[in-house]
Structure 1
Amino acid sequence: MTEKNRKYVFPLLLDLHYVKNDVLKTCYKIVNHIEAANIIVVPLEYSYSMKKYNNIVQDLINQALKIGKPIWVYSGGDFGYSLKNQNVYNFRFSGFKSKLNRRTFLLPAFVNDPYGLHINKEFSTINKQPKPKIGFVGQAKGGFLKYLKELLSFAKTNIKRFVIKQLRDYQAFYPSITKRAKYLELLKKSNHLQTHFILRNSYRAGVKTLAEKHKTTQEFYQNIYNNPYTFCLRGAGNFSVRFYEVLATGRIPILINTDCLLPLDNKINWDKHCLIINEANIKTMPETIVQFHAKLSNQDFLKLQKSNRELWNNYLRRHTYFKEVHDIFCNILN
């Protein structure tokens, strides 16, 4: 397996077959016969595997259904695909909470530990200041031309979905880049906030070389590290990778809720780890942030940063996440 094709592999199998994580080896075991398994895992991303290995995948699923075994399917990418069968549990990054069934498991974006890799320091907390300090580095540009470009990209995606019959859920047009610009401008205008934004005109600032990628990645993480809060809004799919990068850094995400489902929501009280603002209330976002910040003592502020770093380390890394999923499924199977 190479870095190029790892996105097609069910994430759990990366730690069972390729990396062989010691923690997960105590929870999971790959067996040779379907009858001996508690669960059946479709090893490759669903849309990709149905395109490349349709008959094999269908046969595996049919065998699992025949003997009544639960099936785990990984539906990756920005959109994901909803499967309806009662025995299928769908692992995906994206989706709308109001539309997803109870057999959906939201995957966190599995990001690498930024400390030592992108931030040349050890984790430490930031003391509370009178005004909330909010950071953001990323693609955010307003104007009609950018809006039109996003609309054309949306049309292209849906043409592929219908013509090529790609297995991905339909979602309404959402111009995330122009919305980011609008919402960040709302924060910049507030006299009660400190904002430290680096706005890009293109994804990753249009980098072309490894040196440029390294530089912009360091700028990205340094901004998160230097600011206790970071603004997080969905991209093409209804999820934010930045949200998990902020938690990994031990900082506080301000997440704009666009009908989001967050991972392990039956286990994690997300309101204790971030500020979640419904998009319908976006006009009062600055006031909401100020009120949230004012309620925290400096001790609580430091504790929140530490707990977010611990949350990422204990629940949102690939091996720790699937350890939690194992425990959930033990209860389901029993």
Structure 2
Amino acid sequence: MRLKIYTDPAYASPVNRMHCAMLIPFLGSEEATFWSEGTNVFDRYKRNGAGYFELTETMDEAEFVVLPSTWHRYLADGTTEIALRFAQKAADAGKRIVVFHERDYDFKFPAKNALLFTPTIEKDRQPNEYALPAWMPDHTNGPAPLREKKERPSIGFCGLVLKPHVKSRIVQFARTSLPYYSERRMGAYSASLKESFQYKFLRAKAIQTLLDHPGVDTNFVLRGDFFAGADKKATANGKTEARKSALEEFLGNLDGSDYSLCVRGIGNYSLRFYEIMAAGRPPLFLDTECILPYDFLLDWHKELVWVPLDQHHRAGQILVDHHARLSPDQFAEQQRRIREVWEEWLSPDGYFRNFYRHFRPQ
């Protein structure tokens, strides 16, 4: 089921010649973030990718054209005209162009022949928009040890929780209520910021909801900065050590909890979600009308402990009811299934192994 794809590295962003994840087995030089750089995140896909895609020599031979860099790369580098020129070249040849965007905000790609793969869509999803995982490492090279079922569910969380104060409330008001600050950013390619900033304090509300529920044991490590403030360290070595310490604390929190709270951040998705899935811990997933990969094949409402948008205030009771329905064997199988879903559909290798299904559903 290999897809025939074509790209031209000459159309990568010239400021930072990095390539989208799909092209790593063929071109290398992936666009890395500090949480993925130097990790095992793409190892398996690098070995197997040539079995999933055939890189053609000419555009005419290909089923799809692939934009060589991520859309975020062109936006950040100020080189969007290069990406749009390549999209037009594909359109002139009668080809659709696959575009990957790997960052928080809901940036649109303004070409009618584009197929946009993105982790975050705030609202009004278009037919040409598909969900993309966040590329997170398999930190432990396998699932966390299986937990045995206890009478009461325990839920963990380790990460940034923003608390309302005067300055943050002013920013939230501006982003959600004032047109100049809420409608456009980065050359008018973004959807409105209004939707993302209305959820600014959702994590704090969810944390308090669970703390208040008498039937839930909580295991929360609440931080005031992203990645425990690692990027604020003065030296590179200080940043590295701080990130390592923060990751170990996060993994310990996963290991010591039955479930893990998953709430969106700035973008309408969660990096933490993919780490939780890789560890084999069932997420308590607070839906915000987000998109998840392969939602046309997977019933995510059944795969996760799903908290609908209008039921966030009942998150604790939903978790208690879910846990009570499980036998000890079902509780263990739930953990195995979460890891299985990550391996098959969300890891880079699994995601790209199934990529053809977006166009050839079975």
Which amino acid counterpart does residue 106 of structure 1 have in structure 2?
A
* Two-structure CA RMSD over aligned residues (Å): 3.0
Q: Secondary structure at the match of 1:35?
A: coil
CA contact (8 A) 2:227 2:246 kept: yes
Q: Cα deviations across residues 129-163 of structure 1 (Å, max 9, x unaligned)?
A: 1111000011114232363375389489x759847
User: Which of 259, 277, 282 is the matching residue for 2:307?
Assistant: 277
Look up the match of 1:290. 320
The percent identity for this pair of structures is 23
Look up the match of 1:212. 242
Matched, 1:57 2:83: yes
Using a 3 Å threshold, how does the CA distance of structure 1 residues 191 and 82 change in structure 2: closer, same or farther?
same
Look up the match of 2:221. 198
Number of corresponding residues: 324
Q: Cα deviations across residues 193-230 of structure 1 (Å, max 9, x unaligned)?
A: 10000111121221222212111111011101211211
Which amino acid counterpart does residue 240 of structure 1 have in structure 2?
S
CA contact (8 A) 1:15 1:319 kept: no
Unaligned runs of 5+ residues in structure 1 are none
Using a 3 Å threshold, how does the CA distance of structure 1 residues 47 and 192 change in structure 2: closer, same or farther?
closer
Using a 3 Å threshold, how does the CA distance of structure 1 residues 56 and 86 change in structure 2: closer, same or farther?
closer
Using a 3 Å threshold, how does the CA distance of structure 1 residues 29 and 199 change in structure 2: closer, same or farther?
same
Look up the match of 2:40. none
Using a 3 Å threshold, how does the CA distance of structure 1 residues 154 and 221 change in structure 2: closer, same or farther?
farther
User: Which of 64, 87, 92 is the matching residue for 2:113?
Assistant: 87
Q: Return 44-53 or 306-315, whichever deviates more.
A: 44-53
1:88 and 1:177 map into 2 onto residues whose CA distance is 30
Report how far residue 176 of structure 1 moved. Answer: 4.4
Look up the match of 1:39. 64
The TM-score with structure 1 as length reference comes to: 0.87
User: Which of 122, 129, 133 is the matching residue for 1:108?
Assistant: 133
The TM-score with structure 2 as length reference comes to: 0.80
Report how far residue 270 of structure 1 moved. Answer: 1.3
Which amino acid counterpart does residue 252 of structure 1 have in structure 2?
P
Using a 3 Å threshold, how does the CA distance of structure 1 residues 213 and 150 change in structure 2: closer, same or farther?
farther
Look up the match of 2:26. 16
Which amino acid counterpart does residue 192 of structure 2 have in structure 1?
Y
User: Which of 272, 287, 291 is the matching residue for 1:242?
Assistant: 272
Q: Secondary structure at the match of 2:277?
A: helix
Which amino acid counterpart does residue 115 of structure 1 have in structure 2?
T
User: Which of 281, 286, 289 is the matching residue for 1:251?
Assistant: 281
Using a 3 Å threshold, how does the CA distance of structure 1 residues 161 and 213 change in structure 2: closer, same or farther?
farther
Q: Secondary structure at the match of 1:134?
A: strand
Q: Secondary structure at the match of 1:29?
A: strand
User: Which of 128, 131, 134 is the matching residue for 2:152?
Assistant: 131
CA contact (8 A) 2:100 2:117 kept: yes
Q: Secondary structure at the match of 2:60?
A: helix
Using a 3 Å threshold, how does the CA distance of structure 1 residues 63 and 175 change in structure 2: closer, same or farther?
closer
1:149 and 1:220 map into 2 onto residues whose CA distance is 31
2:307 and 2:16 map into 1 onto residues whose CA distance is 34
